[in-house]
Structure 1
């Protein structure tokens, strides 16, 4: 095979020689008028391709210059190994030898990448089935494959190409790959630091020398992109602490001879620490100096902080944009006093000209209708440019969840210096999904889930859901359809049809069941960009299906009001969510208030529930989280609160360390029947899991829980409170959020059922 490759290489050399010789022969021909042009040697290339490249046509005069130009043009097509021109009387004969084409591309020995990914890499490099073969192109393809493996820390990867001739002047290419082992980081050295320890600075890096979870985080695998990000984090760390002259002098990455271990050395100069002596405004601030001064994050008397400077200039630029000045320029000019290690910051601005948006252009949406995107925009065409509205519009489109990529950019309008166009580019993702799963919890045991969802039906933005959940104690079937723009001003409408069966978790082997079926209509009214109010009405029918060990409270309610109860509760709710992530939040706040009011039917009651969550980032690694929940219910019209609407407490999601739903009142049979008033408070200190680096999908937490549950008419007192402390960890697994907790109850009462180890898939706090 090697001789074959050499033969192809030899052909390339001889082609150049032939080109030169042919050109010399062409120069030796006396000029003549071309009566005909013939092409010989073509197999796959169309004759028209050759004729279109020739600088001479039938009826024109052929001379030496045109002959040389013809040979150069044909070789420039990249389709031929050899080109010759012959003159037979007044006929010009073009004789070509086509390059072989690639019949197939195969791979052997690859495990890190599948064949389709590698074929895509080669296609981008210009090598694919059906294209002309060129040895230089194959060499470039080998280098590109090696580069892909280097990006995965496989520096010892080797690629060899086997070229096999085939019929009809074709070749089959086989890339034989030896991947080797990934290069691991052996050591990271930081040289030149005095103010901070090595451990403190290395803690800023996502790269490390590995731990017992490195197989999962891959933090010990070198990546140039990750190193650059770590160096930027190091630079930001120093600049945020007053080291204005900090610099990274050099970075050395030393590879071991076996290409399986790496040593990284970072040489730095810290410089002196500077304190901000003052902040002044310079330039045009639209006579709104006080507004801009309120946006200043820089604090005189404290250490110079580059993050505060960047936040200030960004806030100024955005505030100018709020007034329509899309081209405002803001610059922070430091005036350094190196004798006293002080720095004065002058904020210089030039608002330039005011602009308005001429047109909003949307590209990339092949399925989603334009109106679905445009209705989320708060920046309108032919209106003044407003940076805050543009950011809000982008966030609203992004929250639709229909796109994997989204960008909003501005473009000048030629000949109109006071106008800009907004270009919205999206890349759509599949919005329909079918989910099959299984879950296991210490309370529900084994359960199965099925989901069919289409978030963007026919590109209209409407949502259709079918959810099925099976469990030992809770089973649910829900069909839901949502129109997010039932009205033009953004009022949503949701129609639900549901069927649920449930019973208390600890029923002492009883087989009674609560069966609820119903339908609901709910409207969501956007009050602000962050707040939504929900209004709705449901029609429900709940049946107490008797069985063994039915709690006395259920039996008493059924005897007084019947085993079947109908209700038409009105629902009222409000929510606000500013968390940075719904699955692994690090900052932000979440609030939810839900209420039910049953005035008609057999069950008459009022029920409210309020939840508050707050996440406080203490540092890049540590987060303090709070969760509070209160519930209250009361019967109306002289009737008691329906027992099947009771709150429950205990276990994951409330007070850990106690068995699920075992806190609160019990009836004469000893069954846990829940209560009408509920109080829960959780506090968590969240850290990265040891050995997982900064991976937020796997985290460790310590917690303190408190909670109480009170029955109807029961006096609220601190005696009913239960407390617990413990540790746990959370993992965003392929099955969903998974949480383990080991808790120690601090306050126990007779009859409390303790469960120190608990876990669940899908719980949120």
Structure 2
């Protein structure tokens, strides 16, 4: 209606103007009247005539059309004053200010940005048509957010100097939710099963975060494609969505969705062929096609097979190979024959690998992880492996690898690597809370990428009541160009187990010093062999000796009426010697096939090792361990993660007992959540073979340790955190045992279940868990809530 009115005004103006020019004349001057903000020069620039030009009866229409087209004027009139052309205008007002009121779901900047995109901004000419477009676009944005009752009113306030203030009054209303979803026409599959595949639903306990109960056109389109894929992956290649209806309740707060579908018949696979230019022998390609004749046709398997074929060609240097699956349908037999037509394209090699974004890490730190070489044939497998190795370093939040053709060289490409670094230095703190012991704090400072060289330096320190230690370690992962690593460790520690929160362990203390060197040798792409050599000195001390022991002489006969202490018993077994110098060599194997260091979705991290205190040491013993973490993708970023940690220690040679201070402990984060750290396993009472009593109920550790967990990782509901956070549901198990005290019994394993969260925050990794023991006994120490955190620098 408004456009019709404006057109009417223009037509009337043209008629009036055409009447004003009785005859043609030569323009002696042009005079503009009615200007307020716009300069006369601007008007002159839009008039298609100049002084000296001759105008006729067609000129007024042309001039008025041109000036109206600028959008600057509400009215334009032409008059002739002798040989002077008089242009009378009424300017449109300028927008002095734009004010938004009532908007909460969409912030001011987003709305103003949408206005700027259509030219409705402060300082521009006020145009009601643009204002109407802005309001309609804003309503559409609110509709996409499920606010169908939104009302947007505008108030235009005239100001001096032909300006206006624009106020948008927004009443957002309530967010409409999906009340009902109906799928009509399904006979092969249950409607509930089909609805489970959709991104939209009638709501759940997490709908506030996922917005799954909010209708949007984009989601509806995606759900239609989801249904189509579901059916076509099960042989229904003629499946179609005939129509969809979206109904909104009168109060605009409920949405009802209906999808009318036609399933069609099931088509089976009759034949599979490979055609085109088969660079790779067909007998090597057919195993990559996971289609079975006689089975229902599956579009998903066809696509995956085409991707595998493309990847196989890419590994041979054909970076731009295309594999087009062509189905041939037999309507009479209800079968489908699929031919994979191969277009390999030109074989290419890599001219150059370009790296950007590494402001801290040196180029060579990244390049030595690359398995794709420059001046070599391109291989998609080697590029993927290179990306995984970069992510496993733990230096980068993100790694993107793209290819680009080289101009003028059709057989060459460049590989472009873009990384986003995070702070590789870390100040780690560990905090635990127990009902009996309160809060404890530990810390360490490390730099995984020392000055961008890829070398690892760690200074560990602990300020808790239990342990005070200082550790300096250094590792060069590329001591040689072949990937042989070298490192050393210096460590001094003082441990007082009598200060463990809740007094859950036997009372003893140690002063320990260690110096060691290690080498690592690459075996395969994912495996390494490790050799270590340590000199270890330990001073074992009894915190509260029995009444007969004085000045450290724990084995002096006397009135032994104090608390029994296994550590004291160990010293006595060593003829009263409480200081031990040991020479320890170690051998280990590690395997790492994870696709990234943080929150991996695939692969395993495995290690196995053996350490032996060699003959000539004061104590002769050995320890063996096996640790494994495996990650299995369930669906997209949903992952099943399993962990197993096994350890065994024993004496040999002239030693009669495994060192008491080398025993294994269990409980707490990284072990069995829900139980207090160090609290699990045999007690002092069991060690001495007496009835359980509070005076001897402290844990003494064991010579066998078995812990593990099964976790289910899910991304958070908030999309912004999907790369840095995981929600976890878990079941932990474990305990420590001592065969010299009692036979190993799997039935003594403790179990716990709980939920948790891991967040790679800007200040470090935060782990929080809440676990409930499932089979605790009266002597177990429970600690339901636990968390650890670290700070990066």
TM-score (norm 1): 0.73
Residue 3 of structure 1: aligned partner: none
2:565 alignment partner, one of 552, 557, 566: 552
After TM superposition, list the pairs within 5 Å mapping 1:284-683 onto structure 2: 284-360=277-353, 376-396=369-389, 407-424=400-417, 440=433, 445-447=438-440, 503=497, 504=500, 507=503, 528-531=524-527, 547=543, 552-555=565-568, 560=576, 562=578, 574-578=590-594, 583=599, 588-593=603-608, 606-615=622-631, 626-634=642-650, 641-650=658-667, 653-654=670-671, 660-667=677-684, 668=688, 669-680=696-707, 682=709
The Cα shift of 1:340 comes to 3.7
C-alpha separation in 2, matches of 1:28 and 1:432:
85
19-28 vs 109-118, greater mean Cα deviation = 19-28
Contact 1:516 1:540 survives alignment (8 Å)? yes
CA deviation vs aligned residue, 1:297-352 (integer Å, no higher than 9, x gap):
11223322222211111000111111111232212223333444333332222223
Q: Is 1:745 matched with 2:775?
A: yes
Residue 155 of structure 1: aligned partner: 148
CA deviation vs aligned residue, 1:192-247 (integer Å, no higher than 9, x gap):
11121112222223422123443344332224444444433333322222223222
1:722 alignment partner, one of 734, 748, 759: 748
Counterpart of 2:784 in 1: which secondary structure? strand
2:171 alignment partner, one of 178, 183, 194: 178
Residue 187 of structure 1: aligned partner: 180
2:226 alignment partner, one of 219, 226, 233: 233
The Cα shift of 1:723 comes to 3.7
Q: Is 1:760 matched with 2:786?
A: yes
Counterpart of 2:323 in 1: which secondary structure? strand
C-alpha separation in 2, matches of 1:133 and 1:262:
37
C-alpha separation in 1, matches of 2:91 and 2:271:
74
C-alpha separation in 2, matches of 1:24 and 1:405:
72
Counterpart of 1:307 in 2: which secondary structure? helix
C-alpha separation in 2, matches of 1:54 and 1:457:
70
Counterpart of 2:234 in 1: which secondary structure? coil
C-alpha separation in 2, matches of 1:608 and 1:226:
54
Summarize the Cα distance change of 1:165–1:393 in structure 2 as closer, same or farther, 3 Å threshold.
farther
CA deviation vs aligned residue, 1:361-386 (integer Å, no higher than 9, x gap):
56677887766665654434443222
Contact 2:673 2:769 survives alignment (8 Å)? no
CA deviation vs aligned residue, 1:127-161 (integer Å, no higher than 9, x gap):
56666665544444444444443443333333444
The Cα shift of 1:264 comes to 1.6
C-alpha separation in 1, matches of 2:325 and 2:47:
61
Contact 1:209 1:220 survives alignment (8 Å)? yes
CA deviation vs aligned residue, 1:398-421 (integer Å, no higher than 9, x gap):
566777776544444454433334
Counterpart of 2:700 in 1: which secondary structure? coil
Counterpart of 1:252 in 2: which secondary structure? strand
Summarize the Cα distance change of 1:462–1:725 in structure 2 as closer, same or farther, 3 Å threshold.
closer
CA deviation vs aligned residue, 1:720-758 (integer Å, no higher than 9, x gap):
651456654445578944444444339x7xxx7246883
Contact 1:245 1:270 survives alignment (8 Å)? yes
Summarize the Cα distance change of 1:233–1:93 in structure 2 as closer, same or farther, 3 Å threshold.
same
Contact 1:74 1:80 survives alignment (8 Å)? yes
C-alpha separation in 1, matches of 2:294 and 2:212:
39
C-alpha separation in 2, matches of 1:626 and 1:257:
51
The Cα shift of 1:292 comes to 0.8
Contact 2:681 2:735 survives alignment (8 Å)? no
140-149 vs 636-645, greater mean Cα deviation = 636-645
147-156 vs 176-185, greater mean Cα deviation = 147-156
C-alpha separation in 1, matches of 2:471 and 2:70:
63
C-alpha separation in 2, matches of 1:471 and 1:182:
51
Contact 1:591 1:613 survives alignment (8 Å)? yes
Counterpart of 1:384 in 2: which secondary structure? coil
Greater Rg, structure 1 or structure 2?
Answer: 2
C-alpha separation in 2, matches of 1:470 and 1:79:
74
Summarize the Cα distance change of 1:287–1:568 in structure 2 as closer, same or farther, 3 Å threshold.
closer
141-150 vs 324-333, greater mean Cα deviation = 141-150
Summarize the Cα distance change of 1:17–1:548 in structure 2 as closer, same or farther, 3 Å threshold.
farther
List gaps (5 residues or longer) in structure 2.
Answer: 546-562, 689-695, 717-721
Summarize the Cα distance change of 1:428–1:729 in structure 2 as closer, same or farther, 3 Å threshold.
closer
The Cα shift of 1:497 comes to 8.4
Alignment length (residue pairs): 739
Residue 268 of structure 2: aligned partner: 275
Summarize the Cα distance change of 1:651–1:453 in structure 2 as closer, same or farther, 3 Å threshold.
closer
Residue 207 of structure 1: aligned partner: 200
Contact 2:769 2:787 survives alignment (8 Å)? yes
The Cα shift of 1:391 comes to 2.9
The Cα shift of 1:576 comes to 1.4
Contact 1:443 1:660 survives alignment (8 Å)? no
Counterpart of 2:745 in 1: which secondary structure? helix
Counterpart of 2:643 in 1: which secondary structure? strand
List gaps (5 residues or longer) in structure 1.
Answer: 1-5, 690-694
Counterpart of 1:671 in 2: which secondary structure? coil
C-alpha separation in 2, matches of 1:577 and 1:607:
26
C-alpha separation in 1, matches of 2:504 and 2:278:
73
Contact 2:243 2:259 survives alignment (8 Å)? yes
C-alpha separation in 2, matches of 1:257 and 1:588:
53
CA deviation vs aligned residue, 1:167-204 (integer Å, no higher than 9, x gap):
77766554433222222111111111112111222222
C-alpha separation in 2, matches of 1:545 and 1:161:
82
Residue 692 of structure 1: aligned partner: none
CA deviation vs aligned residue, 1:99-130 (integer Å, no higher than 9, x gap):
87666655432333444555555555655666
C-alpha separation in 1, matches of 2:683 and 2:136:
73
Counterpart of 1:383 in 2: which secondary structure? coil
C-alpha separation in 2, matches of 1:513 and 1:452:
25
C-alpha separation in 1, matches of 2:68 and 2:449:
52
Summarize the Cα distance change of 1:86–1:149 in structure 2 as closer, same or farther, 3 Å threshold.
same
Residue 550 of structure 2: aligned partner: none
C-alpha separation in 1, matches of 2:372 and 2:224:
38
Contact 1:708 1:722 survives alignment (8 Å)? no
88-97 vs 613-622, greater mean Cα deviation = 88-97
Counterpart of 1:294 in 2: which secondary structure? helix
After TM superposition, list the pairs within 5 Å mapping 1:40-189 onto structure 2: 106-116=99-109, 118-119=111-112, 122=115, 134-163=127-156, 173-189=166-182
Contact 1:444 1:472 survives alignment (8 Å)? no
